[in-house]
Structure 1
Amino acid sequence: MTRDEPDTRPSEARRRLLDTAIRIFYAEGIHSVGVDRIIAEAKVTRATFYRHFPSKDDLILAYLREVHRMERGMVDAAITANPSPAESLLAVAGAIADRITSPVFRGCAFLNAAAEYPDTDHPVHQEIIAHREWFLDTITALMVQVHEETADSAARHFVMLRDGAMAAGCLFDPALVSETFLRGVEGLLRVNTERQSAGSAR
Protein backbone atom coordinates (compact mmCIF):
# COMPACT_ATOMS: atom_id res chain seq x y z
CA MET A 1 0.00 0.00 0.00
CA THR A 2 1.39 3.43 -0.97
CA ARG A 3 1.15 6.56 1.14
CA ASP A 4 -1.66 7.92 -1.06
CA GLU A 5 -3.82 4.78 -0.83
CA PRO A 6 -6.36 4.57 2.02
CA ASP A 7 -6.10 1.71 4.46
CA THR A 8 -9.37 -0.17 3.93
CA ARG A 9 -8.54 -3.07 6.25
CA PRO A 10 -11.09 -3.67 9.01
CA SER A 11 -10.05 -2.10 12.29
CA GLU A 12 -8.65 -4.63 14.75
CA ALA A 13 -10.42 -2.81 17.58
CA ARG A 14 -13.76 -2.92 15.76
CA ARG A 15 -13.29 -6.62 15.12
CA ARG A 16 -12.59 -7.24 18.81
CA LEU A 17 -15.66 -5.26 19.82
CA LEU A 18 -17.85 -7.15 17.39
CA ASP A 19 -16.44 -10.57 18.33
CA THR A 20 -17.01 -9.76 22.00
CA ALA A 21 -20.57 -8.63 21.33
CA ILE A 22 -21.32 -11.76 19.31
CA ARG A 23 -20.09 -13.99 22.12
CA ILE A 24 -21.76 -12.19 25.02
CA PHE A 25 -25.01 -11.05 23.40
CA TYR A 26 -25.67 -14.56 22.15
CA ALA A 27 -24.82 -16.28 25.42
CA GLU A 28 -26.45 -13.85 27.86
CA GLY A 29 -28.89 -11.64 25.99
CA ILE A 30 -28.66 -8.09 24.72
CA HIS A 31 -30.35 -5.91 27.34
CA SER A 32 -28.45 -7.55 30.19
CA VAL A 33 -25.04 -6.64 28.74
CA GLY A 34 -23.87 -3.05 29.00
CA VAL A 35 -21.43 -1.10 26.90
CA ASP A 36 -18.93 -0.96 29.77
CA ARG A 37 -18.61 -4.73 29.81
CA ILE A 38 -18.14 -4.92 26.04
CA ILE A 39 -15.42 -2.27 26.27
CA ALA A 40 -13.67 -4.04 29.13
CA GLU A 41 -13.70 -7.50 27.56
CA ALA A 42 -12.69 -6.20 24.15
CA LYS A 43 -9.83 -4.28 25.81
CA VAL A 44 -10.50 -0.98 24.06
CA THR A 45 -11.08 2.54 25.30
CA ARG A 46 -14.50 4.14 25.54
CA ALA A 47 -13.47 6.62 22.85
CA THR A 48 -12.53 3.74 20.55
CA PHE A 49 -15.90 2.10 21.12
CA TYR A 50 -17.86 5.23 20.25
CA ARG A 51 -15.68 5.92 17.25
CA HIS A 52 -16.79 2.61 15.75
CA PHE A 53 -20.29 2.38 17.24
CA PRO A 54 -21.95 5.72 18.10
CA SER A 55 -24.51 3.89 20.27
CA LYS A 56 -25.23 0.45 21.67
CA ASP A 57 -27.96 0.04 19.06
CA ASP A 58 -25.34 0.46 16.33
CA LEU A 59 -23.36 -2.39 17.89
CA ILE A 60 -26.48 -4.55 18.15
CA LEU A 61 -27.26 -3.99 14.48
CA ALA A 62 -23.67 -4.86 13.56
CA TYR A 63 -23.96 -8.01 15.70
CA LEU A 64 -27.14 -9.14 13.94
CA ARG A 65 -25.70 -8.36 10.51
CA GLU A 66 -22.62 -10.42 11.27
CA VAL A 67 -24.73 -13.35 12.50
CA HIS A 68 -26.79 -13.01 9.31
CA ARG A 69 -23.60 -13.08 7.24
CA MET A 70 -22.46 -16.28 8.97
CA GLU A 71 -25.85 -17.97 8.61
CA ARG A 72 -26.10 -16.95 4.98
CA GLY A 73 -22.66 -18.42 4.36
CA MET A 74 -23.78 -21.69 5.95
CA VAL A 75 -26.92 -21.84 3.81
CA ASP A 76 -25.13 -20.86 0.60
CA ALA A 77 -22.49 -23.53 1.21
CA ALA A 78 -25.16 -26.19 1.72
CA ILE A 79 -26.92 -25.21 -1.49
CA THR A 80 -23.73 -24.99 -3.54
CA ALA A 81 -22.55 -28.42 -2.41
CA ASN A 82 -25.77 -30.22 -3.33
CA PRO A 83 -27.05 -30.58 -6.89
CA SER A 84 -30.78 -31.01 -6.32
CA PRO A 85 -33.16 -28.69 -4.44
CA ALA A 86 -34.32 -31.50 -2.14
CA GLU A 87 -30.72 -32.36 -1.26
CA SER A 88 -29.99 -28.67 -0.69
CA LEU A 89 -32.92 -28.41 1.72
CA LEU A 90 -31.77 -31.52 3.58
CA ALA A 91 -28.26 -30.07 3.77
CA VAL A 92 -29.58 -26.79 5.19
CA ALA A 93 -31.58 -28.77 7.74
CA GLY A 94 -28.49 -30.82 8.58
CA ALA A 95 -26.45 -27.69 9.20
CA ILE A 96 -29.18 -26.37 11.50
CA ALA A 97 -29.30 -29.70 13.35
CA ASP A 98 -25.54 -29.57 13.83
CA ARG A 99 -25.83 -26.10 15.38
CA ILE A 100 -28.50 -27.29 17.82
CA THR A 101 -26.17 -29.99 19.14
CA SER A 102 -23.26 -27.56 19.53
CA PRO A 103 -22.12 -27.04 23.17
CA VAL A 104 -22.46 -23.26 22.78
CA PHE A 105 -25.97 -23.39 21.32
CA ARG A 106 -28.32 -20.86 22.95
CA GLY A 107 -31.14 -20.81 20.44
CA CYS A 108 -31.71 -18.59 17.42
CA ALA A 109 -29.96 -15.25 17.80
CA PHE A 110 -32.74 -13.53 15.87
CA LEU A 111 -35.64 -15.07 17.80
CA ASN A 112 -33.81 -14.23 21.03
CA ALA A 113 -33.37 -10.64 19.90
CA ALA A 114 -37.02 -10.42 18.79
CA ALA A 115 -38.11 -11.25 22.33
CA GLU A 116 -36.06 -8.30 23.58
CA TYR A 117 -37.12 -5.89 20.83
CA PRO A 118 -40.86 -6.40 20.19
CA ASP A 119 -41.41 -2.84 18.86
CA THR A 120 -41.91 -3.35 15.12
CA ASP A 121 -40.64 0.17 14.36
CA HIS A 122 -37.32 -0.33 16.12
CA PRO A 123 -34.33 -0.74 13.75
CA VAL A 124 -33.25 -3.90 15.60
CA HIS A 125 -36.66 -5.50 15.06
CA GLN A 126 -36.59 -4.49 11.40
CA GLU A 127 -33.15 -6.12 11.02
CA ILE A 128 -34.59 -9.32 12.48
CA ILE A 129 -37.49 -9.27 10.01
CA ALA A 130 -35.11 -8.69 7.09
CA HIS A 131 -33.11 -11.76 8.09
CA ARG A 132 -36.20 -13.91 8.42
CA GLU A 133 -37.56 -12.73 5.07
CA TRP A 134 -34.25 -13.68 3.44
CA PHE A 135 -34.39 -17.17 4.98
CA LEU A 136 -38.03 -17.74 4.00
CA ASP A 137 -37.37 -16.48 0.46
CA THR A 138 -34.37 -18.81 0.15
CA ILE A 139 -36.32 -21.85 1.31
CA THR A 140 -39.29 -20.90 -0.89
CA ALA A 141 -37.07 -20.70 -3.98
CA LEU A 142 -35.85 -24.23 -3.32
CA MET A 143 -39.35 -25.53 -2.57
CA VAL A 144 -40.57 -24.12 -5.90
CA GLN A 145 -38.19 -26.54 -7.58
CA VAL A 146 -39.55 -29.43 -5.50
CA HIS A 147 -43.26 -28.70 -6.02
CA GLU A 148 -44.28 -25.26 -7.23
CA GLU A 149 -47.97 -25.38 -6.27
CA THR A 150 -47.26 -25.97 -2.57
CA ALA A 151 -43.95 -24.12 -2.34
CA ASP A 152 -45.18 -21.22 -0.17
CA SER A 153 -46.88 -23.39 2.45
CA ALA A 154 -44.05 -25.95 2.42
CA ALA A 155 -41.45 -23.22 2.95
CA ARG A 156 -43.42 -21.76 5.87
CA HIS A 157 -43.70 -25.29 7.28
CA PHE A 158 -39.91 -25.71 7.00
CA VAL A 159 -39.31 -22.40 8.80
CA MET A 160 -41.76 -23.32 11.57
CA LEU A 161 -40.03 -26.67 12.03
CA ARG A 162 -36.73 -24.82 12.24
CA ASP A 163 -38.06 -22.27 14.75
CA GLY A 164 -39.55 -24.99 16.93
CA ALA A 165 -36.30 -26.96 16.89
CA MET A 166 -34.29 -23.86 17.78
CA ALA A 167 -36.51 -23.22 20.80
CA ALA A 168 -36.75 -26.86 21.90
CA GLY A 169 -33.00 -27.36 21.56
CA CYS A 170 -32.49 -25.07 24.56
CA LEU A 171 -35.01 -26.93 26.70
CA PHE A 172 -34.74 -30.61 25.85
CA ASP A 173 -32.16 -33.13 24.69
CA PRO A 174 -30.51 -31.39 21.72
CA ALA A 175 -29.72 -34.68 19.98
CA LEU A 176 -33.35 -35.79 20.17
CA VAL A 177 -34.57 -32.37 19.03
CA SER A 178 -32.18 -32.41 16.06
CA GLU A 179 -33.25 -35.90 15.04
CA THR A 180 -36.94 -34.96 15.30
CA PHE A 181 -36.35 -31.82 13.24
CA LEU A 182 -34.55 -33.76 10.51
CA ARG A 183 -37.29 -36.40 10.37
CA GLY A 184 -39.86 -33.62 10.05
CA VAL A 185 -38.01 -32.02 7.14
CA GLU A 186 -37.56 -35.39 5.46
CA GLY A 187 -41.30 -36.05 5.77
CA LEU A 188 -42.14 -32.62 4.41
CA LEU A 189 -39.89 -33.14 1.41
CA ARG A 190 -41.18 -36.65 0.81
CA VAL A 191 -44.79 -35.43 0.63
CA ASN A 192 -43.94 -32.60 -1.75
CA THR A 193 -41.67 -34.75 -3.93
CA GLU A 194 -44.47 -37.30 -4.27
CA ARG A 195 -46.87 -34.51 -5.24
CA GLN A 196 -44.45 -33.37 -7.92
CA SER A 197 -44.07 -36.93 -9.22
CA ALA A 198 -47.82 -37.45 -9.28
CA GLY A 199 -48.32 -34.21 -11.17
CA SER A 200 -45.66 -35.11 -13.73
CA ALA A 201 -47.24 -38.51 -14.31
CA ARG A 202 -50.57 -37.00 -15.34
Structure 2
Amino acid sequence: MPKPRERIVSTAMVLFHQQGYNNTGINQVIEEAKVSKASFYQHFRSKDELCIEFLNKRYDYWASELEKFTSEAKTVQEKILKSFDFLIDMNKREDFRGCSFLNILSEIPADKEEIHKVIRYHKNKLRECFSEDLQNDVISAHIYLLFESSILTSQLYRSNELIEKSKMIVQEILND
Protein backbone atom coordinates (compact mmCIF):
# COMPACT_ATOMS: atom_id res chain seq x y z
CA MET A 1 0.00 0.00 0.00
CA PRO A 2 1.36 3.47 -0.87
CA LYS A 3 2.56 5.72 1.93
CA PRO A 4 0.06 8.17 3.50
CA ARG A 5 1.39 11.24 1.66
CA GLU A 6 1.12 9.44 -1.69
CA ARG A 7 -2.43 8.32 -0.87
CA ILE A 8 -3.42 11.86 0.10
CA VAL A 9 -1.97 13.33 -3.09
CA SER A 10 -3.44 10.69 -5.39
CA THR A 11 -6.85 11.10 -3.74
CA ALA A 12 -6.64 14.88 -4.11
CA MET A 13 -5.62 14.47 -7.77
CA VAL A 14 -8.92 12.75 -8.46
CA LEU A 15 -11.18 14.80 -6.20
CA PHE A 16 -9.88 18.29 -7.01
CA HIS A 17 -9.98 17.50 -10.73
CA GLN A 18 -13.45 15.92 -10.73
CA GLN A 19 -15.21 17.91 -8.00
CA GLY A 20 -13.24 21.12 -7.80
CA TYR A 21 -11.61 22.85 -4.85
CA ASN A 22 -14.67 24.06 -2.96
CA ASN A 23 -16.60 20.80 -3.26
CA THR A 24 -13.69 18.75 -1.90
CA GLY A 25 -13.34 18.79 1.84
CA ILE A 26 -10.36 17.75 3.93
CA ASN A 27 -12.50 15.11 5.66
CA GLN A 28 -13.39 13.53 2.30
CA VAL A 29 -9.71 13.44 1.30
CA ILE A 30 -8.80 11.90 4.67
CA GLU A 31 -11.54 9.29 4.42
CA GLU A 32 -10.88 8.29 0.80
CA ALA A 33 -7.09 8.26 1.28
CA LYS A 34 -7.54 6.10 4.37
CA VAL A 35 -5.33 8.25 6.57
CA SER A 36 -5.84 9.83 9.95
CA LYS A 37 -6.42 13.54 10.40
CA ALA A 38 -3.08 13.75 12.22
CA SER A 39 -1.37 12.05 9.30
CA PHE A 40 -2.94 14.50 6.86
CA TYR A 41 -1.72 17.51 8.85
CA GLN A 42 1.70 15.95 9.25
CA HIS A 43 2.07 16.16 5.46
CA PHE A 44 -0.02 19.24 4.62
CA ARG A 45 -0.65 22.24 6.84
CA SER A 46 -3.83 23.16 4.99
CA LYS A 47 -6.15 22.44 2.11
CA ASP A 48 -4.45 25.28 0.23
CA GLU A 49 -1.07 23.56 0.58
CA LEU A 50 -2.61 20.34 -0.76
CA CYS A 51 -4.14 22.32 -3.63
CA ILE A 52 -0.72 23.70 -4.56
CA GLU A 53 0.69 20.17 -4.57
CA PHE A 54 -2.23 19.12 -6.78
CA LEU A 55 -1.63 21.99 -9.23
CA ASN A 56 2.08 21.19 -9.50
CA LYS A 57 1.46 17.48 -10.06
CA ARG A 58 -1.41 18.18 -12.47
CA TYR A 59 0.81 20.47 -14.54
CA ASP A 60 3.57 17.85 -14.66
CA TYR A 61 1.08 15.22 -15.80
CA TRP A 62 -0.61 17.50 -18.34
CA ALA A 63 2.66 18.84 -19.81
CA SER A 64 4.04 15.32 -20.07
CA GLU A 65 0.93 14.11 -21.87
CA LEU A 66 1.05 17.11 -24.24
CA GLU A 67 4.73 16.45 -24.96
CA LYS A 68 4.03 12.78 -25.74
CA PHE A 69 1.09 13.71 -27.95
CA THR A 70 3.05 16.23 -30.01
CA SER A 71 6.45 14.50 -29.96
CA GLU A 72 6.26 13.08 -33.46
CA ALA A 73 5.50 16.42 -35.10
CA LYS A 74 8.08 17.22 -37.75
CA THR A 75 7.50 20.99 -37.88
CA VAL A 76 6.52 23.73 -35.43
CA GLN A 77 3.26 24.20 -37.33
CA GLU A 78 2.43 20.51 -37.00
CA LYS A 79 3.31 20.59 -33.29
CA ILE A 80 1.03 23.58 -32.67
CA LEU A 81 -1.84 22.00 -34.59
CA LYS A 82 -1.36 18.70 -32.75
CA SER A 83 -1.59 20.59 -29.45
CA PHE A 84 -5.19 21.44 -30.36
CA ASP A 85 -5.80 17.77 -31.20
CA PHE A 86 -4.44 17.03 -27.73
CA LEU A 87 -7.25 19.12 -26.24
CA ILE A 88 -9.78 16.99 -28.09
CA ASP A 89 -8.07 13.86 -26.81
CA MET A 90 -8.12 15.16 -23.22
CA ASN A 91 -11.81 16.00 -23.55
CA LYS A 92 -12.49 12.40 -24.55
CA ARG A 93 -10.37 11.03 -21.72
CA GLU A 94 -11.67 13.41 -19.05
CA ASP A 95 -15.26 13.99 -20.18
CA PHE A 96 -14.87 17.70 -20.91
CA ARG A 97 -13.72 18.52 -17.38
CA GLY A 98 -11.65 21.41 -18.74
CA CYS A 99 -8.60 23.00 -17.19
CA SER A 100 -8.02 22.23 -13.52
CA PHE A 101 -6.19 25.54 -13.16
CA LEU A 102 -9.00 27.66 -14.57
CA ASN A 103 -11.59 25.63 -12.67
CA ILE A 104 -9.82 26.28 -9.37
CA LEU A 105 -9.15 29.90 -10.31
CA SER A 106 -12.90 30.41 -10.71
CA GLU A 107 -13.52 28.99 -7.23
CA ILE A 108 -11.00 30.77 -5.06
CA PRO A 109 -10.98 34.32 -3.76
CA ALA A 110 -8.22 36.78 -4.60
CA ASP A 111 -6.70 36.53 -1.13
CA LYS A 112 -5.48 32.97 -1.79
CA GLU A 113 -2.35 34.52 -3.22
CA GLU A 114 -0.16 31.41 -3.13
CA ILE A 115 -2.63 29.42 -5.22
CA HIS A 116 -2.99 32.32 -7.67
CA LYS A 117 0.80 32.53 -7.92
CA VAL A 118 1.07 28.81 -8.77
CA ILE A 119 -1.68 29.05 -11.39
CA ARG A 120 0.01 32.05 -13.03
CA TYR A 121 3.38 30.30 -12.94
CA HIS A 122 2.08 27.26 -14.81
CA LYS A 123 0.04 29.29 -17.29
CA ASN A 124 3.16 31.36 -17.99
CA LYS A 125 5.13 28.16 -18.64
CA LEU A 126 2.56 27.23 -21.29
CA ARG A 127 2.76 30.71 -22.82
CA GLU A 128 6.54 30.44 -22.92
CA CYS A 129 6.30 27.13 -24.77
CA PHE A 130 4.24 28.73 -27.53
CA SER A 131 6.58 31.71 -27.57
CA GLU A 132 9.71 29.55 -27.82
CA ASP A 133 8.23 27.45 -30.61
CA LEU A 134 6.90 30.34 -32.66
CA GLN A 135 9.54 33.03 -32.01
CA ASN A 136 6.92 35.75 -32.50
CA ASP A 137 5.32 37.35 -29.44
CA VAL A 138 2.15 38.54 -31.17
CA ILE A 139 1.42 35.29 -33.00
CA SER A 140 2.30 33.14 -29.98
CA ALA A 141 0.04 35.26 -27.73
CA HIS A 142 -2.79 34.95 -30.26
CA ILE A 143 -2.42 31.17 -30.46
CA TYR A 144 -2.09 30.87 -26.67
CA LEU A 145 -5.36 32.77 -26.25
CA LEU A 146 -7.08 30.53 -28.81
CA PHE A 147 -5.71 27.49 -27.00
CA GLU A 148 -6.93 28.63 -23.57
CA SER A 149 -10.32 29.74 -24.85
CA SER A 150 -10.70 26.41 -26.66
CA ILE A 151 -10.32 24.57 -23.37
CA LEU A 152 -12.87 26.79 -21.68
CA THR A 153 -15.48 26.81 -24.44
CA SER A 154 -15.22 23.07 -25.06
CA GLN A 155 -15.96 22.54 -21.37
CA LEU A 156 -18.86 25.00 -21.48
CA TYR A 157 -20.51 23.49 -24.55
CA ARG A 158 -19.25 19.92 -24.01
CA SER A 159 -18.17 19.98 -27.62
CA ASN A 160 -14.92 20.04 -29.57
CA GLU A 161 -16.40 22.23 -32.30
CA LEU A 162 -14.63 25.42 -31.24
CA ILE A 163 -11.33 23.58 -30.80
CA GLU A 164 -11.64 22.46 -34.43
CA LYS A 165 -12.43 26.03 -35.52
CA SER A 166 -9.55 27.42 -33.46
CA LYS A 167 -7.26 24.90 -35.10
CA MET A 168 -8.39 26.14 -38.56
CA ILE A 169 -7.72 29.75 -37.46
CA VAL A 170 -4.27 28.74 -36.23
CA GLN A 171 -3.52 27.03 -39.51
CA GLU A 172 -4.44 30.22 -41.38
CA ILE A 173 -2.31 32.34 -39.04
CA LEU A 174 0.69 30.04 -39.45
CA ASN A 175 0.29 29.87 -43.25
CA ASP A 176 0.49 33.65 -43.62
Do the aligned partners of residues 181 and 120 (structure 1) sit closer, same or farther apart at CA in structure 2, a change above 3 Å counting?
Answer: farther
Q: Percent identity?
A: 25
Q: CA deviation at 1:82?
A: 2.1
Match in the other structure for 2:125: 134
SS at 2:22 equivalent: coil
Distance (whole Å) between structure 1 residues aligned to residue 105 and residue 160 of structure 2: 25
Within the candidate set 95, 98, 108, 1:104 is matched to 95
Q: Structure 2: which amino acid aligns with 1:32?
A: N
Contact persistence 1:97–1:182 (CA under 8 A)? no
Shift of 1:152: 0.9
CA distance in 2, matches of 1:40, 1:17: 10
The TM-score normalised by the length of structure 2 is 0.89
Look up the match of 1:165: 150
Structure 1 segments of 4+ aligned residues over 6 angstroms from their partners: none
Inter-partner Cα distance in structure 1 for 2:94 and 2:121: 28
The 5-angstrom pairing of residues 27-46 of structure 1 reads: 27-46=18-37
Q: Highest relative contact order (Cα 8 Å, sep 6+), 1 or 2? A: 2
Shift of 1:81: 2.4
* 1:175 CA displacement: 3.2
Count residues with an aligned counterpart: 175
User: Which residue of structure 2 aligns with residue 6 of structure 1?
Assistant: none
Larger radius of gyration: 1
The 1-side partners of 2:61 and 2:45 are apart by 24
- 1:125 maps to what in 2? 116
Cα separation, partners in 2 of 1:75 and 1:60, compared to 1, 3 Å: same
Aligned to 2:170: 185
For 2:81, which of 78, 83, 90 is the aligned residue? 90
Alignment root-mean-square deviation, CA: 1.9
Match in the other structure for 2:48: 57
Q: Aligned partners of 2:7 and 2:96: how far apart in 1?
A: 21
Find the partner of 1:114 among 98, 105, 113: 105
Say which SS state the counterpart of residue 102 (structure 1) adopts: helix
Runs of 5+ consecutive residues of structure 1 not aligned to the other structure: 1-10, 145-150, 192-202
Choose which of 17, 23, 32 in structure 1 pairs with 2:8: 17
- Which piece of structure 1 moves more, 132-141 or 112-121? 112-121
